[in-house]
Copies of this chain bind each other. A is one copy, B any other.
Amino acid sequence: MSKENPITLGVLISGSGTNLQAIIDAIDAGKLDARVGVVVSSNPSAYGLTRAENAGIEHVAMAVEDYADPIKADQTIVKILQDHGVDYVAMAGYMRMVGEPLLQAFPNRIINLHPALLPSFPGAHGIADAFEHGVKVTGVTVHFANADMDAGPIIAQRTVLVEESDTVDTLEARIHETEHIVYPEVLQLIAEGRVKVEGRKVHIS
């Protein structure tokens, strides 16, 4: 796609939104032919909402009680995303599962980021789990979301070496740095129409 006709992203967050910021910065730098149509947060006090506000991006905060019925919450989010013309959904530290309403509304169009080399170390503690396991290589995985947590088709993986001097904090810092590079790069591949899913395999042309 050309910059005259960029894709519209919806970004789902729950926290500080550093990957949202990386997306915003990549767009501003001309490295990502996209616009962020709307940011949806599962947490009304997420700092990522302030980042959206500062960037002049529309944003919506869900409340904890909105998730009492997860299906209804998903339906609400689908409507918000569709109302903002969203083509692709980028999860960026979104701490809720995406359920059937979202997956059906955006089939193979919801992208997630995981701070480990999946299928190793899925779940909420991918960095610490890898460190405690004593791996010598970990990294970052960008994948399509599906009904199973952290198990969708893998679009890209980047490695981060565990150094002898690492603590979980220094490792975490390098993994986040890597995320902020690889996530906008993968979204750009998608914006260029170069990413195709075939079963479990993702082909990049």
Report which A residues bind B (CB closer than 8 A): 117-121, 132-137, 139, 153-159, 164, 199-204
Give the contacting residue for A164; candidates B119, B164, B203; CB below 8 A: B203
CB pair A132 B164 closer than 8 Å: no
Whole-angstrom CA separation of A133 from B153 in the bound complex: 8
Distance of A47 Cα from B166 Cα, bound (Å) = 42
Copies of the protein in its oligomer: 2
A119: contacting residue among B133, B158, B159, CB under 8 A = B133
Min Cβ gap A150→B in Å is: 12
Distance from A201 Cβ to chain B, minimum over Cβ atoms (Å)? 4
A186 to chain B, nearest CB (A): 11
Beyond A135-B154, A137-B159, list 19 extra A-B contacts (CB 8 Å): A117-B117, A117-B135, A117-B137, A118-B120, A119-B121, A119-B135, A120-B120, A132-B200, A133-B154, A134-B153, A134-B199, A134-B200, A134-B201, A135-B157, A136-B154, A136-B155, A136-B157, A137-B157, A164-B204
The answer for the CA separation of A200 and B133 in the assembled complex, in Å, is 6
